[in-house]
A and B are shown apart, each in its own frame.
Chain A
């Protein structure tokens, strides 16, 4: 089974520029997560989707971050405008819903550098 796919793997932008990250979850996984991982830290949840519905976006900085999962499959996370402090790895994960196993499968991440 194919894993979680993310693109791009690396992105370097100047501050105040927009940037977007794309994630395609494992087929059949209804739940999709976006995490932020700063250097030396564990992943921190930004937003969780159940199908196309954002069920937890309490940690998403909504002044500059947005996300969408229009058809309940792949998802896009956007930052506009980017700030120096946004430099981090952005991880996408997916899991089945309702199985009780609650195992999340992670993608390789997108490493963002804001200069």
Chain B
């Protein structure tokens, strides 16, 4: 079945640690890829997106993600996390011929001050 997998459900890091959240999808063909973030008590908001071109995508707040087509992956990274990065992060995929966006189950990130 077509799916989006986020392998880490809960991640706890100390401030200044490096972050990498995994995301894999099972769709063949062209895809659009997204990372959304939900800070405590706030709306889901777009962190970054990949449509085409450079597979290394820069987002807001120092986040970046790399699309590796051969691995069907779109991992989210940040070199040095801050306490304010505590949030839930959702990877999402839009198969290009389908307007529907499929979300992963989310990763809850907790940064220790």
Contact = CB atoms under 8 A, between A and B. Distances in A.
A42 B90 contact: yes
A42 B104 contact: yes
B99 interface: yes
Interface size class on chain A is 20 to 34
B43 A107 contact: yes
Interface residues of B, number: 21
Contacts of B94: 102
Interface of B: 4, 9, 32, 36, 42-46, 49, 51, 90, 92, 94, 99-101, 103-106
Given A45-B101, A56-B100, 10 more contacts: A40-B9, A40-B105, A41-B106, A42-B92, A42-B106, A48-B99, A93-B44, A103-B49, A105-B45, A106-B44
The 10 closest A-B pairs by CB, nearest first: A42-B103, A106-B44, A106-B43, A43-B103, A42-B90, A42-B105, A42-B104, A108-B43, A41-B105, A42-B106
